[in-house]
Structure 1
Amino acid sequence: MEFVILVVLFFSFAKFDAVRYDLQDDVHVLRTITVNKNGRGDFRTVQQPIDAVPSNNALWIRIQINHGIYIEKVTIPQDKPYIILEGDRKHLTVIEFGDAGSVVNSPTFKSLADNFVAKNIVFKNTYNRLIKPDRNGRQTTWAPAAAIAGDKASFYHCSFISLQDTLTDAKGRHYFYDCNIQGAIDFIWGNGQSIYEKCQIKSLAHKLGQNGGYITAQGRERPEEPTGFVFKDCHVSGSGSIFLGRAYRTYARVLFSGTYMENIIAPEGWSEWEIKPVDSITFSEAKCRGPGADMSRRIPWEKNLSDDEIIYLTNIASFINQDRWLEKQPH
């Protein structure tokens, strides 16, 4: 048995070393590895090439995933930085699984390492396809599609689909561009320092059978923390009444700027949840459009940020990219 394991490991790493060197946009990509579930690549699953990446690697490694549905949990551990997961540009590349009940153990995808890039991938938790009440009558539970806890992570043209806690934006600086995020309860939550630019935010609150859901649950805990969620030039759509957010921690900070909102936003806009008093919460909107952006009935403690504050938060360079880490990633 030991001999068989050694042979398997040898050939796995042999495949890893044989793949080609690459260069993209003046950023060195050391290797490109292919994944094809039908066996026409270097590996059949997404987790296999991640496991083969050496610990504490210092150069970018691209994992090119052929289109199809990969039913598996995928984790990028903390000691595996500089990984790119890239799906097919023309056909869907889906990573999905159906686990629930834990924000730590249930995510379909977890990225714990610094310096990570994902492109053209659908991350999905399928647990909530059929909603069955538990013994307390609750219809949903934690079922994250993805959990991001490393610093300097970027996502381009990706989708995150679930019902509750869809995207755990836990900690670190993150950039989401042209991504699709769907859910009903706290479906973008955590204490990340993140900009969502030109993203599609879709409410599935009609599936709850209750009055309303929540897009965000931001968890900033102290006033000196630089964290917060910024939605820049996004589009909020879907069905069922939904709040823009509720305060997960005392100094929660969320800004919607230049965003089009369809007529699904609860008139109050925001909820303090269990935070009292509300003076420490920074929930704000700036130059948003659409029928859902009517602020005439918003909660009285919504912050009216100054122009300088809005410019600081919506500017990628000042809010998340002070050390120009985005320019150092392959695009």
Structure 2
Amino acid sequence: MQSLRFAIVCFALSLFLLLNACKAKENISKTIIVDQSGGGNFTKVQEAIDSIPSNNGLWTSIHVKAGEGSNVTLIQWGDFGSSSDSSTFKMYADNFVACDISFKNTHNHPLLLDVDHNVTWAPAALIQGDKASFHRCGFIGLQDTLADWQRRHYFVNCYIEGAVDFIWGGGQSIYQNCNINVTKSRIGSGNAYIAAQGRGTATDPSGFVFKDCVVFGTGPAFLGRAYGSYSRVVFYESHFDDIITPEGWDAWFSRGKEGTLTNSEVQCMGPGASMLNRVKWEKTLTVEALGQLVNLKSFINQESWIESQPIF
């Protein structure tokens, strides 16, 4: 696809974005085809989204005919300077599914060392709606790539690329079987940080849980740094290449108050998973607390909304 930018602003009660190879269940009420060659209902994705009424209460499929898979179907833009407004893709609607597509912010790709291409906020996607899932999708950027802003999200078999806080926000999310590519080599001497989670209080249900993920690329990189006073990030049964800093974590905004943070690695493996020199304040979770976080049902899927979504 040609470079384009779109934002979901319809606040639909139920919006299903079906892209490429996903197979819908019978509860899809309508399918809208986007084809740049003119063979569909619209030639632009934003036009298709705008056609859905704001009071929509039925699942609607938007099928983008631009090849098969996230390596082929790409929505990209090059805005920068704002951690939210500059995002290539913005999703505010509840009840959302995307499959087999990539979102990319082209700022710093390739990295150009001039005033217009400095390393700064340049998100590829901002996800704010509740009950959103992404299957086999790509998120490509350098700083603040994926703004997992708030509410419940499920990322499965996705690819996420960046160097500075490139998975960040106050979302309540599980990342399962995702490939996480750290591109530290693109930022020179600065530090690389994977996750920057913004949980603000002890009762805030949010947090990032990475299950069965693979972390690779160029380092050294911190697994995360605290974007909120009660930041919560857990890596569970994931594989780390030899790119993780010995300390593992940075307290950042909570320096001196590390006791409120929940940063934890459980049963991780690989050359970057050694715990010998990790920060002393890394949390050791109880079996009950760990189970609550890594279990899909108890952490994000309390209403079985994932099973009710029209995919596969």
TM-score by length of 1: 0.84
Give the counterpart letter for 2:288 in structure 1. D
1:58-137 paired onto structure 2 within 5 Å = 58-67=57-66, 88-89=68-69, 92-133=72-113
* Residue 32 of structure 1: how far off its partner (Å): 0.7
Distance 1:138 1:129 in 2: 9
**Residue in structure 2 matched with residue 25 of structure 1 by the alignment:** 25
Distance 2:120 2:57 in 1: 38
1:195 counterpart (163, 169, 174): 174
**Pairing 1:234–2:213 present:** yes
1:258-298 Cα offsets, whole Å, 9 max, x none, are: 00000000110000013131110110000000000001010
* Residue 138 of structure 1: how far off its partner (Å): 9.4
1:174-205 Cα offsets, whole Å, 9 max, x none, are: 00000000000000000000000000011001
**Residue in structure 2 matched with residue 159 of structure 1 by the alignment:** 138
**Secondary structure at the residue paired with 1:279?**
helix
**Secondary structure at the residue paired with 1:123?**
strand
Q: Flag as ranges the 4+ runs of structure 1 deviating above 4 A.
A: 132-135
Distance 2:70 2:223 in 1: 32
Distance 2:132 2:268 in 1: 27
Distance 2:70 2:207 in 1: 33
Distance 1:142 1:67 in 2: 28
* Residue 40 of structure 1: how far off its partner (Å): 1.6
1:32-89 Cα offsets, whole Å, 9 max, x none, are: 1111112121111110010000112001000000126xxxxxxxxxxxxxxxxxxx34
Give the counterpart letter for 1:200 in structure 2. N
Distance 1:220 1:238 in 2: 27
* Residue 132 of structure 1: how far off its partner (Å): 4.2
1:271 counterpart (229, 250, 275): 250
Distance 1:141 1:38 in 2: 35
**Residue in structure 2 matched with residue 5 of structure 1 by the alignment:** none
Answer whether contact 1:123 1:145 (CA < 8 A) is retained: yes
- Structure 1 residues 127 and 114: CA distance shift in structure 2, 3 A: same
* Residue 319 of structure 1: how far off its partner (Å): 0.2
- Structure 1 residues 91 and 239: CA distance shift in structure 2, 3 A: closer
1:182-331 paired onto structure 2 within 5 Å = 182-275=161-254, 276-331=256-311
- Listed as ranges, the gaps of 5+ residues in structure 2 are 1-22
- Structure 1 residues 92 and 138: CA distance shift in structure 2, 3 A: closer
**Pairing 1:40–2:39 present:** yes
1:128-175 Cα offsets, whole Å, 9 max, x none, are: 11434566x994010000000000000000000000000000001000
Give the counterpart letter for 1:44 in structure 2. T
Answer whether contact 2:105 2:122 (CA < 8 A) is retained: yes
Distance 1:232 1:202 in 2: 15
Aligned length: 288
Larger radius of gyration: 1
Q: CA RMSD in A?
A: 1.7
- The answer to which structure, 1 or 2, has the higher relative contact order (CA under 8 A, 6+ apart) is 2
Answer whether contact 1:232 1:258 (CA < 8 A) is retained: yes
